[in-house]
Amino acid sequence: MRLPNKFTCSLSALLLIAGMGKAQTMTPYNVKNFGATGDGKTIETQAINKAIETAAAAGGGTVYFPAGNYQSGSIHLKSNVSLYIDQGATIIAAEATKEAGYDEPEKIVTNEYEDFGHRHWHNSLIWGENLHDISILGPGTIWGKGLERTNHAEMKGEEDKKPNKSIALYKCRNIIIRDISILHGGWFGILATSADNMTIDNVKMDTNRDGMDIDCCQNVRISNCSVNSPYDDGICLKSSYGLNTGRACENITITNCQVSGFDEGSFLDGTYKRTVKYNGGPTGRIKFGTESNGGYKNVAISNCVFSYCRGLALESVDGALMEDVSINNITMRDIVNAPIFVRLGARMRGPEGTPIGAATRISISNVTAYNVDAMQGAIIAGLPGYEINDLTLENIHIYFKGGGTKEQASIVVPDQTKLYPEPKTFGITPSYGFYISHVKDLKMRNVETNYIAEDMRPPYFLEFVNGVDFQHIRSQKAAGVPTFMLTQVKDFNIFNTAQVPDTKLTSVDKKNL
């Protein structure tokens, strides 16, 4: 077997860098040596899996995809085996025919608390279960051409055997996914459930539903990724009941990433079209939830860009403990709903008797957002008796579209305790900047709100808040409109704010400042 010189040299260089002293022979398992053609017409499922099985039987190695188009059904990952998809190589999800060789979804799994997509892994283009030391590498592409984006049969109470994920990992560890592109990834571009010690780096996605869902995973590093997903979330942390028990998403870093909601396909081809119309605007954001049974702990997000999509969303609605979260250096532009959404709710899609969760020790800092939708301000909302606790918002500057009316400033927002946790369920908020409800120990420093068109709503509306410190607040507001509207607020303190004199309030039922 003769490999391209560039590839052989690269592998030799890696061995030298690793300190081997001199280049040693390393022979990847070329799928074409196992019968694959790469002609874009032949179903290559058997040839690809034979190459993987041979590598695994030899103790591991690299299964190599040279330039070409490889139509396939389910590809079975194995421990100690890497897939390398070279430049010009595309693995294509074949249409769901018997010839394609897709695996059926697991029969023993129920969907009592999650939808079909979250609870099945085998009906995927590439999947692995109970594996260790696996990787999917290379500058090539995975195209989920034949994958479904939903489960229409499930909606009718029937079983759907169609494949719907590009990459699915279940109970795996020591994982690397690097440099690949995913186009039209199906229900999930990457679904990783209880996948520990995982690195996802320099991955580009342009997809038709969720980009990557990191579910019940621990020790995960996501970096330098670009995810365009107009019809669902871009980078999503979840802690579902997919393991039949709660498990936290814990020790997670997301850094140097971009999320967006341009028309599918227009991100990878560089046209960045904005014609999509979807349920309140494109999605494409970074989000915790919606599935939130096991919790989120020790999560750091930094240096990320949101463009033409929804805002940052942190949600605990199924009993999760959301704690020790740090978010820093975020820029947003053309945001179609609340730029910041922190929600402690009680949807409680989980075993009966599960207590309502908690949200505590959360820090969001250095956020800049421009051209944010006028319907809502940032929303920070807990529940009666279950406050969001110990939240810090610092160095934040948001430009809203504006245009709110005086009548909208009188809107009473319902708690929406059990509804799906989406900002749109709150409707129009009575403040254009921040709507804050059921929060304890809130600290806001160096926060500025502006609007593009005049807005007759106040910048801030607070209700049922206990303990709040404001410092260095700047707020654009219309003549005669207060900066703060307070209802049932205790221990309110504001300092060094030009529009409002230094004020300390022990308790107030209703007051405007």
Q: How many whole angstroms separate alpha carbon 191 and alpha carbon 148?
A: 14
Decide if 81 contacts 28 (C-beta within 8 A). Answer: no
Predicted pLDDT at 414: 85
> Per-domain residue ranges for the chain?
36-512
Q: Residues 195, 196, 202, CA angle at the centre, nearest 5°?
A: 80
Q: What are phi and psi of 11, to 5 degrees?
A: -65, -40
| 96 three-class SS | coil
Q: 278: pLDDT confidence band, cut at 50, 70 and 90?
A: confident
The token duo for 142 is 């995975």
Question: How confident is the model over 385-441, as pLDDT tens digits?
Answer: 999 999 999 999 999 999 999 999 999 998 778 888 899 999 999 999 999 999 999
CATH fold label, 36-512: Pectate Lyase C-like (2.160.20)
**Tens digit of each residue's pLDDT (9 = 90 or more) over 55-107:** 999 999 999 999 999 999 999 999 999 999 999 999 999 999 999 999 999 98
Report how far Cα 175 is from the mean position of its chain's Cα atoms: 18
- Rounded CA gap, 405 and 274, in Å? 28
The region, left, alpha or beta by phi > 0 then psi within -120 to 50, assigned to residue 503 is beta
pLDDT at 27: 67
Which residues does 441 contact at the CB level (< 8 Å), separation at least 6? 389, 390, 391, 466, 467, 468
Report the 3 state secondary structure along 177-241. Answer: EECCEEECCECEEEEEECCEEEEEECCEEECCCEEEEEECCEEEEEECCEEECCCCCCEEEEECC
47's enclosing H/E stretch is helix 45-57
**245 exposure class (CB count in 10 Å sphere: 0-12, 13-18, 19+):** exposed
Q: What is the pLDDT of residues 12-26, one digit of tens each?
A: 444 333 333 333 345
**Whole-number Å distance between alpha carbons of 94 and 74:** 9
Q: What's this model's pTM, rounded to 2 decimal places?
A: 0.93
> How many angstroms separate the CA atoms of 113 and 290, rounded?
12
Q: What is the DSSP letter of 130?
A: S
- Kindly report which listed range (63-72, 170-179, 493-502) carries the lowest average pLDDT score: 493-502
Say if residue 445's pLDDT is above 90.
yes
Distance CA 62, CA 482 (A): 65
In percent, the amount of the chain with pLDDT more than 70 equals 93
Rounded to 5°, angle at Cα 36 from 30 and 38 = 100
Residue-wise pLDDT tens digits, 502-513: 999 999 999 999
pLDDT band at 8 (very low <50, low <70, confident <90, very high): very low
